[in-house]
Amino acid sequence: MSNHSLTPIPMVDLKEELALVRNPILASLTEVLDSGEYILGTKAAQLEEDVARYIGVPYAVGVGNGTDALQLSLMAFDIGPGDEVITTPFTFFATGEAIAQVGATPVFVDIDEATYNLDPSRIEEVITDRTKAIIVVHLYGQMAEMKSIMEVAKKYQIKVIEDACQAIGSEYNGVRAGAIGDIGCFSFFPSKNLGAYGDAGLITTNQQSLYEKLMQLRNHGSEQKYYHTLLGMNSRLDEFQAAILLAKLPYLDIFLHQRKEVARRYTESFHQQLRPPSVPQNRGHTFHQYCIELDNRDELALELNKHKVASAIYYPIPLHLQVAFQYLKYKEGDFPIAEKTAKRILALPIYPMLSIQKQAYVISIVKEFLESNR
Ligand SMILES: *Cc1c(COP(=O)(O)O)cnc(C)c1O
């Protein structure tokens, strides 16, 4: 079977889903063109309203991208030099970068071996009187252990920011990502579960005062044009991207369902040879990524590549070992679980339109590899 010559299988194929959404997107874009309102018009406002309703929060603020969402959230809490923010070392760089960009110090805590998310039992030991917030990341589309995290945060009166960039629509006890912490941050980078065709992001909150502050911060700290009460940023949600996202939002639940189906087929095929991604009972995993763990993952990646099947490593270097964070003085061995996972993890192609035939091809290569390497 693995000798079949098939078209290459990428990690994500955005063109396949375009066929489904092309017409509603073109109609939505045309409305923007004809409106003459190109910054913060009716599409951006409508998207904020619709996404807030989808997540189950009263407020949403559209911003430039997911990284800005994180940075603006920290700014909303006046977090800066001298402050510490706890987060996971096993995430995309932007999570730690946002903390450092506001002048605060990232403080890392190792992850849970099964879910790859921040291990709540390790948070308390790094809390100091400078700790102002925790940025909890819902990695690969699976929410972190929010109950314990919210409890620690409440005990020490620190803020919780959910980095839900990979987790739109994911659930924890029936509550969606971005609705539990003080603030939720989303990215609509094209390959995310809800993707724009450019950069875009959004912040959710339950608190009116935070909402009002974030609306100002994203627009140069002004409420009324040319009157600036805060130092903010230029990080508005682009009107054209909002139009695209509005056209795609009605498909989100279908796309998430299809991702779960792809994940289910992978797990069914591998569970005897590999530990499948662990999904605790109360968690609605949306499988932004489907990752497996194995000792010789580099060899499997090569084998897949030989058959024109993509794979990827999210992420090869934990944040505490990144060159840009050398100044924090962490060293190899500080977060053994994150380090071990970074050496063993491999993401397989997953996207809503991945056909059963293509997936079967990926599965056959992985299974053959696992069997010949036993
Ligand atoms: C994608 C991502 C971001 C950054 O989002 P951008 O829109 O690319 O700025 C931040 N955190 C995580 C976990 C992400 O996956």
pLDDT in tens, the chain (374 residues): 444 556 899 999 998 889 999 999 999 999 999 999 999 999 999 999 999 999 999 999 999 999 999 999 999 999 999 999 999 999 999 999 999 999 999 999 999 999 999 999 999 999 999 999 999 999 999 999 999 999 999 999 999 999 999 999 999 999 999 999 999 999 999 999 999 999 999 999 999 999 999 999 999 999 899 999 999 999 999 999 999 999 999 999 999 999 999 999 999 999 888 988 988 888 899 999 999 999 999 999 999 999 999 999 999 999 999 999 999 999 999 999 999 999 999 999 999 999 999 999 999 999 999 999 86
Q: Measured in angstroms, how far is the CA atom of residue 6 from the centroid of ligand 1?
A: 32
169 by DSSP, 3-state: which? coil
Ligand 1 pocket test: which of 85, 166, 187 has the largest number of ligand atoms within 8 Å of its C-beta? 187
Active site residue 192: yes
**Residue 154 carries which side chain, given as an amino acid letter?**
K
Q: Measured in angstroms, how far is the CA atom of residue 187 from the centroid of ligand 1?
A: 6
Ligand 1 pocket test: which of 68, 92, 135 has the largest number of ligand atoms within 8 Å of its C-beta? 92
Could you tell me the sign of the dihedral formed by the alpha carbons of 292, 298, 303, 308, in that order? positive
User: Which pLDDT value is given to residue 72?
Assistant: 98
User: Which pLDDT value is given to residue 295?
Assistant: 94
Q: Which residue has the tokens 């109360």?
A: 282
User: Which pLDDT value is given to residue 2?
Assistant: 47
Residue nearest to atom 14 of ligand 1 (CA): 165
- Which atom of ligand 1 approaches the CA of 137 most closely? 13
- Which atom of ligand 1 approaches the CA of 288 most closely? 15
In this structure, the strands spanning 159-163 and 227-228 are unpaired
Residue nearest to atom 6 of ligand 1 (CA): 66
Q: Which two tokens stand for residue 29?
A: 């874009």
Classify burial at 334, counting beta carbons within 10 Å of its beta carbon; exposed 0-12, middle 13-18, buried 19 or more. middle
Q: Measured in angstroms, how far is the CA atom of residue 198 from the centroid of ligand 1?
A: 13
Residue nearest to atom 7 of ligand 1 (CA): 66
> Contact at 8 Å (CB) between 304 and 359?
no
Of the listed 132, 192, 213, 248, which one is catalytic?
192
Q: Which domains does the chain have, with CATH numbers?
A: 15-249 (3.40.640.10), 251-373 (3.90.1150.10)
User: Which pLDDT value is given to residue 248?
Assistant: 98
Q: Measured in angstroms, how far is the CA atom of residue 195 from the centroid of ligand 1?
A: 12
Q: Measured in angstroms, how far is the CA atom of residue 92 from the centroid of ligand 1?
A: 7
Closest CA to 237 of 254, 214, 253, 255: 214
Ligand 1 pocket test: which of 143, 165, 288 has the largest number of ligand atoms within 8 Å of its C-beta? 165
Show Cβ contacts of residue 45 under 8 Å, excluding neighbours closer than 6 positions.
none
Ligand 1 pocket test: which of 137, 140, 166 has the largest number of ligand atoms within 8 Å of its C-beta? 166
**Residues near ligand 1 (Cβ within 6 A):** 65-67, 91-92, 94-95, 137, 163, 165-166, 187, 189, 199, 201
Q: Which residue has the tokens 């730690």?
A: 96
Q: Measured in angstroms, how far is the CA atom of residue 186 from the centroid of ligand 1?
A: 8
- Which atom of ligand 1 approaches the CA of 187 most closely? 7
Closest CA to 359 of 372, 349, 369, 347: 349
- Which atom of ligand 1 approaches the CA of 139 most closely? 13
